[in-house]
Chain A
Amino acid sequence: MSVHIKSILFNKNLPIFALILTLLMAMYFLGTAIQSTEQFNRIYIWLFAATVLAVIILSLIIIQRIVWLVVKRRQQEPGIQLTTRMVLMFTGLSLPPVIVVYLFATMLVNQYVDSWFDVKTDQALEDAISLGDIFLESQTLTHLNASKAIAAELAEIDPLNQGIYLDRLLESSKADSLSLYSSDGQLISSSSLNPLKFVAPNLPQSTINEININRQYARVEPSANDNLQVRVALQISSNRSLSLGQSRILQALFSLPEEYQSLAINIETQVHEYNNLNYQRQQLKSTFIIILSIVLLISVLLAMLRAFSSARRLVEPIKMLSEATDAITQGNFSKVIPVASNDELGLLVESFNSMSTQIATSSALAHRAQSEAENQRAYLESVVSHLTSGVISIDHDFLIRLSNDATHKILHLGTRSLINQNIDYIAMKNPTLVPLIDLVKQKVSDKTHYWQQEVLIAEDSLRRILLVRGSQISDTEMEGGGHVIVFDDQTIINQAQRDAAWSEVARRLAHEVKNPLTPIQLSAERMHMRFSGKLSKEEDEILDRATQTIVSQVENLKTLVNAFSDYAKPPELRKELGGLNQLIEEMVDLYSLSHPGIVFRVQLADPEPQLLLDKGRMRQLLTNLIKNAQESVDQGDIEINIVTEVTKDQLVLSIKDNGHGFSDQVIKHVFEPYETTKQGGSGLGLAIVKKIVEEHGGQITAANHESGAIIHVYLPLA
C-alpha cells in the first residue's frame, strides 16, 4: 500500500495531473458561473483562484524543467543543446505575439472604458439630480406646510379625540397616511388612504431625534417599494390639558405624483448605474489587466511546457541513437532502438536498427574468421615453438616478425622477445653470430629464393656449426613479403661424424700397424741373439743400440696403437651408482706417491653426490686430466686444484693447473684427436676424456685462467 502511495506521490507526471485537474476545475467553475450573473459573482473569485493555482503549478513545472535542463547541460547529456535551443525558440516565438496582443488589448480596454464616461454626461446627470432636488425640496416644503396646518388643527382638539379626527384630516390633505405617536415613538393612532393594504408606518428613531432638536422633520426618502416618499413629522403643541410629558408627534407620509415618481426613479436609477460604472472603471481596468496577465502567463508557460515536451520527443530518438552509437563503438551490437513514430525520425531509427543488425552479422562473421585465424596462428606458433630447429621470419626491412624458443636456445640469446626487433639486434646480443646475420642479410638482399649453408660460430672453446636454410616469401603469399630462416645446430652431428671417422681411422691404424709390430720386435730380438757376441766389439755395440732402439720404438708404437684401439673401440660401459670423491682421492694418492713434486689442492662436495658411472672409465678420465695438467707445467712447482661442487642437477668437476694453458689455435679444437700442445703426445688424451664424459651424458669445456688452464666436467646426478 505504502509503495503504491509512494509511486503516486513521486510520479514525475504528478504535477501535470495536478495541472490538468486544476484546469478542469476552472472549467467547471466557468461552466457554473456563466449560468447567471449572481452565480458568476459568487464563483468568479474561485474561478480566478483556480486559474492562479494552475499558473502556479505550471510555473513550478517550468522551474523544475529549467532546473533539469541546467543539470543536464552541466552533465553534457546528448541532445541537451538541441533541447535548450528548442525551448528558447518556442519561448521566443510565443512571447512577441502574446505581448503585442497584451499591450493592444490593454490599450484598447483603457480607451474603450474611458470612452464610456465623459464630463458632459457627468454634468448632465448632476444637473438632473439638482433639478430633482429642487423639485423634491419644493414638494417637501409644500407637504411640510400642509402638515403644519394639520398639526395646528390637531392642537386645537382634545388629545383623546385626535385619532378620530385623523381620518377627516387625511381626506382633506394629500397625504397617504397620517399617524400620531407619543413622544417616545409609540403609535397612538393612524389613518391611511388604503386601509386594506395599510401597514402602520414606524417612526424611525433618527426622526424622533431630529424632532427633539428641530421640532420638525421633513425629508424625501426611499419607500419600502423603492419609490420616493416625503416623510414629515411634527411635534403637536396641544393647547388643551396635556401635560408636557404627553406631547405627541404627527407623521405624514406623502408619495410623489405618479408622473414625477417614474421620472424620479428613472433619474435615480440612471445616476446610480452611472456612478456605479464610473466608480468601477478603475477596478474594471485592473481586473482586465490581471486576467489578461494571467492569460499571458498561461500562454507563455504552456508554450514553454510544449517546447519542453516537443524537444524531449524530438531529442529522445536522437539521444537513443547517440547511446546506441556509443554501444556499437564499444562492440555492443545488440542494442535495438524502439521505433516510436512513423515520421522521418522513425525512419532514421529503423535504418539505424537495420544498420546495427547488419554490423552485428558482419562482426560475428569477422569475429569467427578472426577466431579461426587466431586458432591457426596459435596452432602454428605451438608447432613452431616445439620445433627443435630455430625459425625466424623477417620482413624486407629486416624486422623480425616471428621467432621460436629454439632460436633463443640455438643462438644462445636471452629470453627477451625478438619480435619487431631488427635482425642486427641478434648480432648485438651475441657478437659471435655476426657471420650468421651477415649471411642472412646478404641472402635477403640478393632475394635468393632458397638457400642452404653451414655457418661456423666460434664461442670461446666451443665451435659450433649451424646449418642455415632460407626461403623467400613472395608478396602474394604474405602481405609485404619476407624471408623465413630455419637453422639447426649441426655441431653434435658433425662431431659424431668426425668421431666416427676418427674411430674408423684409429681402428684401421691399430689393425694395420699392430700386426707387424710383434714380428718386427721378435725379428729384432732374434737378430740381436743371433749376432750378439759374434761381431766386433764396436759392431756389437751398434747392434745392441739398434736392437734396443727397435724394441723400444716398437713398444712405443704398441702403446700408441693400444691408445688408438681404446679410442676406436672402447670397452662396454658398466655403470653403477656411486660417488666420484673416492675415485678422486684414490687417483690423488696414487699420483702423490709416484710424483711427489705435485701439489694437489682438493675440495670435494659434501655430502657426496651420487652418479651413475663406470668407475674404470672414470679412473681413465681422471688419469688423463691429471696427467695433462701435470705435463702442461713446463717449469717450477706443479699445482693442481681439483674441485667438485653440485649445481641444480649436475656435478661440476673442475681441474685447474698452473701450466702454460691452451693457445688460441688449440683451444678451438682441443677435444679433437691429434690436437696436443705436448711433444710426443698422441693427441688422444682429451679426445678420450670428452668421449667418456659424453658416454656418461655430460659435457666438458676447456678454458684458460690467469696462469694456466681449467677443465670443467659436467656430469648428471643420479
Chain B
Amino acid sequence: MNRIWLTLGVLVLGMVTSQASEFERLERDFSGTTWLLNPQYKVSPSGKVREAIDNGIVVNFVMQVKLYASKNWWFDSMLEHQAQTFAVRYFSLSSQYQLNNLRTKEKQSFITLDQLLDHLGQQTVFEFNANQDADYLSTRLFLDKQALPSTMQLPIVFDADWNLNTDWQQVPLNTGKQP
C-alpha cells in the first residue's frame, strides 16, 4: 500500500517538476505599427519523445503568446492571443525531420531533430499590431498530447518524459508598468 502511494507521489512530483522545455528570453522588434515578438525556448525532449518521432509518430508543439494590459484592482485584460502549432515528422526514406507550421503551412526539413527543435525554439516569430495598452506578454510552449494518436494518450498521462510544457512566462514589453 505504501509503495503505491510512493509511486503516485513520485509521478505527481515528476509531472510538476519536470521541465524539458525552458523559456530563455524574448527577442522583440518594435518597427512602426508592427511588433515582431520572438520567444526563445530551449526544447530538450526525452528519449521517449525522440523514439516516438523516429518511429513515425507526428508530434505537435504549440507556442502561444498573449498580450496583456495590466489593471489596478482588477484582473488584467488580454488584448490579443496568437498560437502557432508545429507538427514534427520524420521521413524514413530521406532520413530527415520535417517541421510543418500548421498556421503558415510552411514546411522545413532538417537533418537532425535537434536542428529542428532549435529552429522551432529560436525562429518562431509572432507578428502583432502595435498596441500601446499592452505592457506585458505571456508565452508558453507545450507538447500537444491530445494531438497524439488516441492509443498513446492514456499511457503517457502520468509520464513525465512526455511533459514538455512550460509554465506561462510573463515578460514586460516597453512600458514602465510591471506585470
Residues of A within 8 A of B (CB): 40-42, 44-45, 48, 129, 132-133, 136, 204, 206, 219-222, 224, 226, 228, 264, 267-268, 271-276, 278-280, 282-284, 286-287, 290-291
Closest B residue by C-beta to A220: B94
Closest CB pairs A-B (n = 8) = A279-B55, A275-B56, A276-B56, A221-B109, A272-B56, A284-B151, A286-B155, A220-B94
Residue among A224, A264, A278, A284 making CB contact with B55, cutoff 8 Å = A278
Is chain A's binding surface mostly helix, strand, loop or mixed? helix
Residue among A206, A228, A283 making CB contact with B155, cutoff 8 Å = A283
Report the bound CA distance from A291 to B150 in whole Å. 12
Is chain B's binding surface mostly helix, strand, loop or mixed? mixed
Report the bound CA distance from A206 to B110 in whole Å. 7
Whether the pair B93, A45 counts as a contact (CB closer than 8 A) is no
Report the bound CA distance from A399 to B154 in whole Å. 92
Residue among B95, B148, B155, B156 making CB contact with A41, cutoff 8 Å = B148
Q: A268-B91, A283-B151 are in contact. Are A276 and B55 (CB under 8 A)?
A: yes
Residue among A220, A274, A276, A290 making CB contact with B154, cutoff 8 Å = A290
Whether the pair B111, A228 counts as a contact (CB closer than 8 A) is no
Closest B residue by C-beta to A272: B56
Whether the pair B96, A221 counts as a contact (CB closer than 8 A) is yes
Whether the pair A220, B151 counts as a contact (CB closer than 8 A) is no
Report the bound CA distance from A272 to B51 in whole Å. 13
Q: Mark B138-165, 1 if CB is under 8 A from A, else 0.
A: 0000000111111111111100000000
Whether the pair B109, A222 counts as a contact (CB closer than 8 A) is yes
Report the bound CA distance from A221 to B96 in whole Å. 6
Q: A221-B109, A279-B57 are in contact. Are A272 and B153 (CB under 8 A)?
A: no
A132 contact set on B, CB distance < 8 A: 93
Report the bound CA distance from A226 to B91 in whole Å. 10
Residue among B51, B94, B115, B153 making CB contact with A222, cutoff 8 Å = B94
Report the bound CA distance from A132 to B92 in whole Å. 10
Q: A41-B146, A279-B52 are in contact. Are A220 and B153 (CB under 8 A)?
A: no
Report the bound CA distance from A272 to B54 in whole Å. 9
Min CB distance A332 to B, Å, is 50
B152 contact set on A, CB distance < 8 A: 280, 283, 287
Residues of B within 8 A of A (CB): 51-52, 55-57, 91-96, 98, 107-111, 115, 145-157
Whether the pair A222, B148 counts as a contact (CB closer than 8 A) is no
A273 contact set on B, CB distance < 8 A: 56
B147 contact set on A, CB distance < 8 A: 41
A129 contact set on B, CB distance < 8 A: 92-93
Report the bound CA distance from A280 to B151 in whole Å. 7
A271 contact set on B, CB distance < 8 A: 56, 92-93
Whether the pair B109, A267 counts as a contact (CB closer than 8 A) is no
Q: A48-B154, A280-B151, A290-B154 are in contact. Are A275 and B55 (CB under 8 A)?
A: yes
Q: A132-B93, A287-B154 are in contact. Are A206 and B111 (CB under 8 A)?
A: yes
Closest A residue by C-beta to B55: A279
Min CB distance B142 to A, Å, is 14
Whether the pair A280, B149 counts as a contact (CB closer than 8 A) is yes
6 A-B pairs within 8 Å (CB atoms) are namely A44-B150, A224-B107, A272-B91, A280-B57, A283-B149, A290-B155
Report the bound CA distance from A286 to B148 in whole Å. 15
Min CB distance A335 to B, Å, is 48
A206 contact set on B, CB distance < 8 A: 110-111, 115
B108 contact set on A, CB distance < 8 A: 204
B55 contact set on A, CB distance < 8 A: 275-276, 278-279
Min CB distance B144 to A, Å, is 10
Whether the pair B93, A228 counts as a contact (CB closer than 8 A) is yes
Residue among B98, B115, B153 making CB contact with A45, cutoff 8 Å = B153
Whether the pair A264, B93 counts as a contact (CB closer than 8 A) is yes
B94 contact set on A, CB distance < 8 A: 136, 219-222, 228
Residue among B93, B149, B154 making CB contact with A268, cutoff 8 Å = B93
Report the bound CA distance from A475 to B154 in whole Å. 93
Whether the pair B92, A272 counts as a contact (CB closer than 8 A) is yes
Report the bound CA distance from A278 to B55 in whole Å. 8
B91 contact set on A, CB distance < 8 A: 221-222, 268, 272
B57 contact set on A, CB distance < 8 A: 276, 279-280
B151 contact set on A, CB distance < 8 A: 280, 283-284, 287
Min CB distance A55 to B, Å, is 14
Report the bound CA distance from A282 to B57 in whole Å. 14
A287 contact set on B, CB distance < 8 A: 150-155
B148 contact set on A, CB distance < 8 A: 41
A264 contact set on B, CB distance < 8 A: 93
B149 contact set on A, CB distance < 8 A: 41, 276, 280, 283
Report the bound CA distance from A219 to B150 in whole Å. 34
Report the bound CA distance from A286 to B110 in whole Å. 33
Closest B residue by C-beta to A271: B92
B145 contact set on A, CB distance < 8 A: 45
